[in-house]
Structure 1
Amino acid sequence: MERFLFFMVLTSTYGIQDWSQRPLGAEVNPGENVTLACVVKNKAGDCRWEKDGTPVGMFPGKYTWSKNLEKGDCSIHIFLAEREFDSGKWQCSVTATSFRSKDALVSDEVKLLVRKAPDSIIFYKGDHLLQNKIQIVEGLNTSITCLGLGGDPPPTYSWKLPPAISQHWIHHSDNASVLTVIGERSSHGSEISCTAHHPALNNNLVSYLSLDVQYAPRIHVEYEQNGTLHRIVSKHSTILAKEGEFLIIHCLAEGNPNPRVIWRKEGLLQTIDQGGKIVFMEIRKGDRGIYSCSAQNQIGVVGPMIVQLDVEYPPSLVSTVPVGSSQVQIGGGVTLQLSFYLSL
């Protein structure tokens, strides 16, 4: 009877144990201290902590109780957090007030994460790992993935783009960031950068990628005559030269990859390809004609630009050889003598 009365006094004095503050998960950098809170009202049982299902003992300088343990604060202080020993699922529990009571408490598991900084950043285009440079085509969409390796939790990302890139989209996923750009030739040779931000990093990680923008050629024609350089701006133009003059016609092409320039003359089956220029050391009237210039690379073909070359030359005597004669009676006793000659 005495024991029964004593039990009744205890429960009426302390009441039923219940949570005042349940544990919550936390993130911490290596070497930092962290407290996992666990507060119980009407605490009469003993506090316990487990990590990944294994009981955790108190070790001075590593794991210690709160100073108010007897008042129901079962929080655990973890010093100099280490990823190897402290990351995992933690659980707080309190034994029952007595073996007859049913007020034992067991918290949900909460995650303590000791962060790990990412080691490096890599770039992907589709499934292809990029090395410092990416090839994109003018006018087409290209997606570039920035991924930080080894970070826990994954880092967040930011991009820095050159002003020449006028159209782009960014999509952030759980562990990576995807940049989509439209190829513009004005951005060829410029750099983009991806920065990984992480609370465990002393300095953010930054990686750079050079843009190799490939585009179809553009051409224009120039000609050098009497020491003067002239630029042709229309697709159809005429060059007037005098016989015996020195003349160079240039077909200048700009593209990426480097384009191949092709010259053709109307009436000739073969192409005239002399490194993008036609040189007339002493122009002749036989050089008259219509010339066309075009250029091509792996991306496309441009042209032709048409140049009509007219050659002025002085008059010349033509030699003749007699090849026959004939007489024709035209009436009235008049005879017409006709002679025939062949021009050479």
Structure 2
Amino acid sequence: MISILYELRVKMKLHKGYRVGMLLMLFPLLLPWKGMKCQSSNKNTIRVRQSATVQEGLCITIPCGFTANYKSTFRNATGLWITNKNVTVASSNPSYTRRKPNFLITGNPNNGNCTLTITGAKKEDSGSYFFRFKEPSASQVDYNSSVSVQVTDLKEKPKIWMPDELIAGKEVKLGCVPPGNCPGKPRVQWKKSNVVGTWMKLAGFSFTPTQNDHQKSVTCEVITLTGKIITAQHILSISYPPANMKITISSSTGRNIDLNGTIVISEKEFLILNCSVEANPPARVFWNKSNHIKQDNTIAEGMIWSAINITEPNIYRCFASNKYGINETFMDIKAEKDLQQRPEVTIATLNCIMCNFN
């Protein structure tokens, strides 16, 4: 480094206009990587972050690069991660005994890569770790720069993904993304509130929602490498056309209506028709009536209709529609006014004084 700066100083004296350009070119080389600690000497260098935090049960990869004896490529090299008590926790050579099976050197030391991966982190994995390099043709190198690993409580949850719109009868894809970016196939299972037991055992799958799935919950359960279960839940909103339509009839007087025969309506009575319908989004409801003489005509809108003028047999139809479809149901009502009702008779008593009945 001293020789480089000396050479730069000489050139700057010879060429005054050369000064700024050379400083801009060499300035990045004089800085360490962002977030990483650099141990540097003429022979050996290492670049690795100073600290790393991972939640319990999850995984983390810590990038690391090094040189040894002025070189960054080697043959038959061995990389080791050790504790400050000289205990090996990870090794690129399977013949070495390592204390922590969940610590893995995922970089290739022959290429100057000392990247460390921790899977299924445990609280006892918290601590400081150092890299050691061995090459058959040279003595081992112990690097003073360490990485401090901290394992915190598990707070992350899986993420459920699905289309923004779910339509009854249309196939969609559901997925559950576990946190932590752990290698290998995640252990995932699904539950649905209208299904008994486990619904699915796949991270991603296709299914066709129905009207019965509306407002039901789906839950993704992820089992971490340490055996803990973390969950995420989503309430399904299923769009579907009007369905399950039904007309009911009642009297304004509160009396029971017998639909098996003709409904006799008293003078001051009227019938109330109610059309129930299930739809998402809510449906627009309107009424028609028809008989053998008159053509269909719209007579009212809304789920409840007070049928004041029902005085003859007729077919009353309830229609419901939304953006996904239209449906209808009907009721054949036989009704007539009670023509046998007699007018009220008021009997008055007269007190007669001096009356002549002859």
Length-normalised TM-score, structure 1:
0.50
- Please, which of 163, 171, 177 is the counterpart of residue 147 of structure 1? 177
Task: Write out per-residue CA displacement over residues 298-336 of structure 1, whole angstroms, 9 at most, x where no aligned residue.
Answer: 332221314345323539xxxxxxxxxxxxxxxxxxxxx
How far apart are the structure 2 equivalents of 1:74 and 1:88?
17
Letter paired with 2:206: T
Amino acid aligned to 2:220: C
Structure 2 Cα separation of the partners of residues 136 and 58 of structure 1: 52
Tell me which residue corresponds to 1:279: 306
Correspondences of 1:194-213 after superposition (within 5 Å): 194-199=220-225, 201=226, 203-213=228-238
How far the C-alpha of 1:202 sits from its partner, in A, is 6.6
Residue 248 of structure 1 pairs with residue 272 of structure 2: yes
The answer as to 2:326 corresponding to 1:298 is: no
Residues 265, 291 of structure 1: 8 Å contact kept:
yes
Q: Please give the TM-score of this superposition, normalised by the length of structure 2.
A: 0.49
Question: In structure 2, what is the equivalent of residue 190 of structure 1?
Answer: 216
Residues 184-232 of structure 1, C-alpha deviations (whole Å, 9 max, x = no match): 3333322221122232x57332111112233332211111124235597
Q: Equivalent residue for 2:248?
A: 222
* Unpaired runs of at least 5, structure 2: 1-56, 61-74, 122-153, 341-358
TM-aligned CA deviation for residue 274 of structure 1: 4.1
Letter in 2 for 1:218: N
Contact 2:246 2:275 in 1 (8 A): yes
Letter in 2 for 1:138: A
Alignment of 1:115 onto 2:119? yes
Q: Which residue in 2 is equivalent to 1:178?
A: 204
Residue 273 of structure 1, CA deviation: 3.1
Report the CA distance between 1:264 and its aligned residue: 1.2
Measured on the aligned residues, the alpha-carbon RMSD in Å equals 4.7
Contact 1:169 / 1:179 at 8 angstroms: preserved in 2?
Answer: no
Summarize the alignment of residues 47-126 of structure 1 with structure 2, pairs less than 5 Å apart: 49-51=77-79, 61-62=85-86, 75=96, 77=98, 87-90=106-109, 113-115=117-119, 119-125=156-162
Q: Check the 8 A contact 1:155/1:198 in 2, yes or no.
A: no
Distance 1:229 1:182, change over 3 A: farther
Whose Rg is larger? 1
What number of residue pairs does the alignment pair up? 227
Match of 1:106 in 2: none
The correspondence of residues 25-40 of structure 1 with structure 2, limited to 5 A, is: none
Counterpart of 1:182, as a letter, is T
Structure 1 residues 311 and 265: CA distance shift in structure 2, 3 A: same
Are 1:136 and 2:166 an aligned pair?
yes
Per-residue CA deviation, residues 144-184 of structure 1 (Å, 9 max, x unaligned), is: 01112432215613223236349x98584xxxx11333323
Return the alpha-carbon distance in structure 2 between the equivalents of residues 314 and 57 of structure 1: 103
* Corresponding residue number in structure 2 for 1:311: 336
C-alpha contact (below 8 Å) 2:247/2:329 kept by paired residues: no
Distance in 2 (CA, whole Å) between partners of 1:261 and 1:181 is 31
Letter matched to residue 124 of structure 1: W
| C-alpha contact 1:262 1:295 (8 A) present in aligned 2 | yes
Identity within the alignment, %:
16
DSSP 3-state at the match of 2:212:
helix
Structure 1 unmatched ranges of 5 or more: 1-27, 32-46, 66-72, 92-108, 129-134, 316-344
1:95 aligned residue: none
SS of the equivalent of 1:161 reads strand
One-letter code aligned to 1:113: T
Contact 1:243–1:284, Cα closer than 8 Å, also in 2: no
Contact 2:265 2:338 in 1 (8 A): yes
- Superposition misfits of 4+ residues, deviation over 6 angstroms: 28-31, 56-59, 78-83, 109-112
